[in-house]
Structure 1
Amino acid sequence: MSYSIIGFGAVGQALARAFARKNIDVIVASRRAPETLMQQARAIGPTVVPRTLRDAIASDTIFLAVPFWEHREVAKQITTWQGKTIIDTTNAFGVPVEDLQGQPSSAVVAKAFTGARFVKGFNHLPAAVLAADPNVNGGSRVVFLSSDDKDAVAPVAVLAEQLGFAPIALGPLKDGGSLVQARGNTWAELIFKDLVKFK
């Protein structure tokens, strides 16, 4: 299984730190040339490898960590996303509600990635918290996952556990996605909830 993170701002780097902590290889890419990401990537760890956007898209599982509307530019890179899993970490705070046409922001993003297995996740924590060790006082920091494809959630949950998090499935995007979205000037109920699961 190959992994990549598209977007190397605060959230992309936070996710890269999670992979580096567990020595799992991950490609990172952005609009910038790979060499411009090299210094930050090296500072995070040797398993974080800058590549082109094309290289990142070739991965099996792709974290989408770009500003909300930039998802459309990423989605245009190939005609079908069949066989790939997209993990949407975006938030639509500041995006007018009417621009989303009454849908959860995750449903809008999902539509752009034709054929992909699509999971909303890893978006409810501030980047600084997401970047921190998820092992907290003997428990594991929670990440919420939501998808209209039940089969897509299980492998993402396994990855979340490999990265040290405790995944909690919230159901389909219209229900679970709505609990972890931002749109207009409002944040949904579970945004910023820093929860820890104990065994």
Structure 2
Amino acid sequence: MRFGTIGAGAVAQAIAGHLVTAGHTVTLSNSRGPDTLLDVVAQLGPSAGAATVEEAATADMVFLTVRWPQVGEALAGLPPWDGRILVDTTNQIPTSPSVADLGVATPSEFVAKRAPGAHVVKAFNTLYARYIADDPRHPAGRQLLFYAGDDTVAKATFHDVADSMGFAPVDAGSLREGGRLMQIGGPLSALHALKQD
């Protein structure tokens, strides 16, 4: 399975680091071009690479890690998704228009509308970046990672990938119901807890 990122900031680098450690390959991208990521991919190791956003977005599982105001621009003009998995790690900021103003119930439904044909899975947005970057395995247990989505196969695939990275993945439901629980202000937002194995 090939992995890509749209965005290459702290969250993308943290996820990429776990993917590389788990033996996967990952292609990072940002709006400024692959040449700006040479130091980042060198630090991650030979299983990491850099490419254009369009190239990274052709991966089997793509992590959307841009800031909320850049979501629309980041997803515009990409190749057809054709059922590939888009993991939405974004958080709608409180000062932006409400989801009702956007014509949807949750921010991830907004993302799904901007990526027709993608199987969107919401994940990583409930954790601060430092908790994503840290080793998810602790003596007391593994870091819980909530996720939501509407496609059962995509969610099962994400679950297996997250588990391989060391997280303890927990299905929070659909993009609408789970998304509400996970968005800023929801009961799962910023809930940093461990699962005892």
TM-score under structure 1 length normalisation: 0.91
SS at match of 2:80: coil
Distance 2:52 2:104 in 1: 35
1:96 is aligned to 2:97: yes
Q: Is the 8 A contact 1:146 1:177 kept in 2?
A: yes
What are the Cα deviations for residues 154-182 of structure 1, in whole angstroms up to 9, with x where unaligned? 00000001111111001112211101112
Letter in 1 for 2:80: T
* Partner residue in 1 for 2:187: 189
User: Could you tell me how far 1:72 is from its partner in structure 2?
Assistant: 1.7
User: Could you tell me how far 1:138 is from its partner in structure 2?
Assistant: 4.8
* Partner residue in 1 for 2:80: 80
Per mean C-alpha deviation after superposition, the further-off stretch among 105-114 and 45-54 is 45-54
* Partner residue in 2 for 1:157: 159
State how many pairs are aligned: 195
* Partner residue in 2 for 1:60: 60
SS at match of 1:106: helix
Runs of 4+ in 1 over 6 A off after TM superposition: none
Matches within 5 A, 1:23-172: 23-78=23-78, 80-94=80-94, 95-97=96-98, 98-101=100-103, 103-172=105-174
Distance 2:91 2:53 in 1: 21
Distance 1:102 1:35 in 2: 37
What are the Cα deviations for residues 46-101 of structure 1, in whole angstroms up to 9, with x where unaligned? 32211111210111110000112322223222363113110000000232325334
* Partner residue in 1 for 2:16: 16
Q: Is the 8 A contact 1:106 1:181 kept in 2?
A: no
User: Could you tell me how far 1:18 is from its partner in structure 2?
Assistant: 1.3
Q: Which runs of 5+ in 1 are unaligned?
A: none
Per mean C-alpha deviation after superposition, the further-off stretch among 89-98 and 140-149 is 89-98
Q: Which runs of 5+ in 2 are unaligned?
A: none
Aligned-residue identity in percent = 34
Letter in 1 for 2:11: V
Q: Is the 8 A contact 2:123 2:145 kept in 1?
A: yes
User: Could you tell me how far 1:102 is from its partner in structure 2?
Assistant: 5.4
Distance 2:144 2:19 in 1: 16
Q: Is the 8 A contact 1:79 1:114 kept in 2?
A: no
TM-score under structure 2 length normalisation: 0.92
Distance 1:56 1:14 in 2: 17
Across the aligned residues of Structure 1 and Structure 2, the Cα RMSD in angstroms comes to 1.6
